[in-house]
Amino acid sequence: MDNNGRKKSMELQIAKTIENLKKNNMDAYYVENRQAALEKVSELIKEGDTVAVGGSVTLFQTGIIDLLRSGKYNFLDRYAPGLTPEQVRQVFIDSFSADVYLTSSNAVTMRGELYNVDGNSNRIAAICFGPKSVIVVVGYNKIVPDIDTAIKYVKQVSAPSNAIRLECETYCAHAGFCQGLYSDEMTDGCRTDSRICCNYLVSARQRVPGRIKVIIIGEVLGF
């Protein structure tokens, strides 16, 4: 497939994903690059808002963390230097009352679902409940056909990449893929204390229209 064909295929998949996210009561947007994503996020957050974030490489890659540190917002900064584990935990708890919660997603299906897997699970908890608005920022590489493919994607790409980044002593950090990759069971994997795949969340049709907003970027971002 030439570059034009690949680009057209990507655009069609993104369009179908956005269509189905909207059917599931989530707002959804497509932007071409990370600068446009930064501008869209700026539109969706009001100056003075209390803002929190989930753990995300994408938020750093897009410059969103720097935007939140600009002084325009009351940023509950989980990454602030010198925080003790107890202070970080308090940030996680305070995040439930934030005006806006920003995160990425492990995968987004073309059926209009978000699929996320967590260890601490503060991120998936806040996606479900608490913050008034949740903004999910993803590269187009996170789009998959369905939940079954999302499960495989996390076991083959997201989990090992994040386990290596976080220096976790897990099977996937050493092998490059989840121990349960070839299992049909969603939760199959290693049994180490450092396991980062502890709780699983599928976000489908939402009860509160527009609370979750998904920004899909036409770049490869995150894991």
The mean pLDDT of 2-27, rounded to a whole number, is 93
| Residues 6+ positions from 194 with CB-CB distance below 8 Å | 163, 168, 169, 170
Mean pLDDT for the chain?
A: 96
Q: Give residue 3's pLDDT.
A: 76
Handedness of CA 161, 164, 170, 174 (dihedral sign): positive
Confidence band of 130 (pLDDT split at 50, 70, 90): very high
| Residues 6+ positions from 121 with CB-CB distance below 8 Å | 198, 199
Confidence band of 1 (pLDDT split at 50, 70, 90): very low
166-175: pLDDT as tens digits: 999 999 999 9
CATH architecture of 3-141+207-217: 3-Layer(aba) Sandwich (3.40)
Confidence band of 180 (pLDDT split at 50, 70, 90): very high
User: Per-domain residue ranges for the chain?
Assistant: 3-141+207-217
* pTM as predicted: 0.96
Q: Give residue 135's pLDDT.
A: 98
Q: Which of 32, 16, 37, 210 is nearest to 137 (CA)?
A: 37
